[in-house]
Amino acid sequence: MPPNILTRFAIVVGMRAAAMYLLVLLLGLGIGVWGATYYLEQSREEAEAGGAGEEEVSADEGVSMRIATIFDSGERYHIEVRYPQFGIEAVDSVIRERVERSVNEFRDGVAEIDDVPEMPRFEYLATFDAVYAGPDFASILLYISRYMGGAHPGAELVGLNFEMPAGRELTLSDALALTGMSLSEVADVSRAELAGTLGESFFPEGAAPTPLNYGTFTVDADTVTFYFQEYQVAPYAAGPQKVSLPRAR
């Protein structure tokens, strides 16, 4: 990533959040590569043009979509959010509701913390990646970073997947059916791959065959990808992890 982009990024989101984003990007997970690049190159002046808005873009698959934005910056907190809207209300309403609920929970959390002099400003940053919009499914990965004090921000990955054109949200059972494998079989493959990647840093209990461990996923034309949150299968320094499996149908 060019130094000038790194500099602008640090100015926009603060050094703590910048360090977290850079860690994830450098791990080569593919998280935030398309969405975050677009996000990082926006200047503060552009973001401050409005508290919320929309931008017209095209996804990698050539699908036209809008990017909805939320910007709210004050003395106690800073919020910058971008999330996609596909022009299908059944899909867009779910994405919008999830994002707005998460942002409001952050605001409520800040309000419950006493205002102490010299306390760092809290931050909520969200962007997206892994955009797929085909005739069968629409899928995105939201990347959310929250700084609520402490040594570093916390990251959360949220996979949102929809059957097209009806807009029904996919479940873990749907994802497993697309791989043609059971949860136990997916877990066996995932644990073997993660153990090979992480070595002694691997936390095997985080990849045990439970719905909670495999509840974050995305879908594209060829694969189903399962994501593991930070701390779930490895120490914080290793960042989030992912395992991609070929679609059987």
pLDDT of res. 64: 66
pLDDT of res. 54: 57
Its pTM stands at 0.78
**pLDDT tens across 96-124, in order?**
999 999 999 999 999 999 888 878 899 99
DSSP notation for the chain: --HHHHHHHHHHH-HHHHHHHHHHHHTT--TTHHHHHHHHTS-HHHHTT-SEEEEEEE-TTS-EEEEEEEEEE-SSEEEEEEEEE-S-HHHHHHHHHHHHHHHHHHHHHHHTS---TTPPPEEEEEEEEEEEE-SSEEEEEEEEEEE-SSSS-EEEEEEEEEETTT-PBP-HHHHHHHHT--HHHHHHHHHHHHHHHHGGG--GGGGSS-TTTT--EEE-SSEEEEEE-TTTSS-GGG--EEEEEE---
**pLDDT tens across 188-218, in order?**
999 999 999 999 999 999 999 999 999 999 9
Report the percentage of the chain scoring pLDDT > 70: 74
pLDDT of res. 242: 98
**pLDDT tens across 126-184, in order?**
999 889 999 999 999 999 999 998 888 999 999 999 999 899 999 999 999 999 999 99
Q: Which domains are seen in the chain, by residue range?
A: 1-170 (3.30.565.40), 171-249 (3.90.640.20)
